[in-house]
Amino acid sequence: MKSIIDIFSPLKSDLITNNAVLYKTALLKRDILSFLIIQNKGTIAELSQATKTSIPKINETINELITEGLVIDHGKILNGVGRKPNIYGLNPNSAYFLSVEVNRHNINIAILNFVEEIVHIERDIPFYLQNTPACFESLCHHIDTFIEKHANDRHKIVSIGLNLTGRVDHVSGNSYSYFNFHSTPLREVLTQRFGVPGYVENDTRAMAFGEYAKGVVENEKNILFINLDDGIGMGIIINGALYSGKSGFAGEFGHMPFLNNDIICHCGKKGCLETEASGVALTLQMKEALLKGISSSITEKVNSIDDIKLQHIISAAKNDDILAIELLSKAGEKIGKGIAILLNLFNPELVILGGKIATTESIILLPILSSINKFSLNLVNTDTSFKISTLGEDAGLIGSSLLMRNRLLDLS
């Protein structure tokens, strides 16, 4: 079977003029797949109409796509009268994507098939993110181990996508905040290390795209996705497309300097939203409160105060722990004030709250909404809906895989 990369290589070729026929065929195949991605299935007549191509040409190209293993024939439509056409759809197993999400304290790795179903996944692999070559090697080792475990599907993996916190430029393939010590862009390092095309993306942008294409989004096209986790990030979708800014630095909501404090943020500046409202800040605040003698059920769950992580605070809040709820509520007020500024700037149709803190649902949502009501113009905030992510912790892995598929097929 031909690799999907070979089938679509004429689309990327610099020698398009010398390969006009190959280019046109690859373009038509791309259009057919893109129709099947959006519509899920289609008949020859529908594909002919959608691509403005003759029925015989569509027939011929569909047969090629079937031989190449990208499309499957589902047989004839069962209902209706008259001559029944065959229905065609994507072959879920024609290509696999390896998605890796690196968080500050764990990593998640998954293999997804061509229709974005998770085939294999390992969540919460313990990891401590540092910007060192040893840490990068350890990450690669985890990926190797995961691939070896699922070696049967290895030859079908067509690309590897890495979601990283901080400033990431998917176009140049550079990550500026982590693993930025190689002489070539991180994307190239991944490509060479794993032998398939590599992609890098900001973690929150990948989550935002996952929610947009497969999650909570219905018909909205202008969306802000707020990632409330150890850090605070934002994914921006404008007219249905992910917005990254000139060099991939857009969306650093957590570093908006509107707090009047002297706490130094990990970015080096003072007064960032993250210094008081992020998961890292909440963890510090919880430790300080316990050291002052304020009680919380959390102390029954850990051996020492030093062991407290964001997840403990979230679990405690869900179990009605007053201190955890109070800390989340104060963080929510500050996040809400920040979102009020965003509403005035972007006037989005939808704001999605994702990340670990968003799993506390009303505990975080209510103080956020109350603060938005207080700080934004009523006309503006009633124009926007607020939803909690439905893909939860899988949003980034699904988003990364979708972005890889789109970039492979040159779809926007």
Interface residues with Zn ion (CB under 5 A) are 255, 265, 267, 269, 272
* 3-class SS of residue 290: helix
Cβ-based nearer residue to Zn ion, 186 or 265: 265
Strands 106-112 and 96-102: antiparallel
Residue 252 CB, shortest distance to Zn ion, in Å, is 8
Residue 271 CB, shortest distance to Zn ion, in Å, is 8
**What is the side-by-side strand order in the sheet with 118-126?**
118-126, 106-112, 96-102, 157-164, 198-202
Cβ-based nearer residue to Zn ion, 274 or 393: 274
Residue 325 CB, shortest distance to Zn ion, in Å, is 26
Show the tokens assigned to 166. Answer: 């901080």
The one-character DSSP state at 270 is B
> CB within 8 A of 280, min separation 6: which ones?
104, 230, 231, 266, 274, 310
Cα distances (Å, whole numbers) of residue 373 to 27, 248, 300, 333, 364:
49, 31, 37, 11, 15
Residue 79 class from Cβ within 10 Å (0-12 exposed, 13-18 middle, 19+ buried)?
Answer: exposed
Cβ-based nearer residue to Zn ion, 80 or 268: 268
CB 235 within 8 A of CB 207: yes
Residue 258 CB, shortest distance to Zn ion, in Å, is 11
CB 163 within 8 A of CB 99: yes
CB 256 within 8 A of CB 273: yes
Question: What's CA 271's distance to the chain center, in Å?
Answer: 28
Cα distances (Å, whole numbers) of residue 283 to 233, 278, 287:
18, 9, 6
Residue 265 CB, shortest distance to Zn ion, in Å, is 3
Show the tokens assigned to 358. Answer: 């968003």
Cβ-based nearer residue to Zn ion, 94 or 283: 283
Residue 290 CB, shortest distance to Zn ion, in Å, is 25
Residue 80 CB, shortest distance to Zn ion, in Å, is 60
Cβ-based nearer residue to Zn ion, 107 or 265: 265
Residue 277 CB, shortest distance to Zn ion, in Å, is 12
Cβ-based nearer residue to Zn ion, 129 or 272: 272
Cβ-based nearer residue to Zn ion, 149 or 269: 269
Residue 267 CB, shortest distance to Zn ion, in Å, is 3
Cβ-based nearer residue to Zn ion, 263 or 322: 263
> CB within 8 A of 345, min separation 6: which ones?
none
How many residues would you count in the chain? 412
CB 340 within 8 A of CB 371: yes
Cβ-based nearer residue to Zn ion, 280 or 402: 280
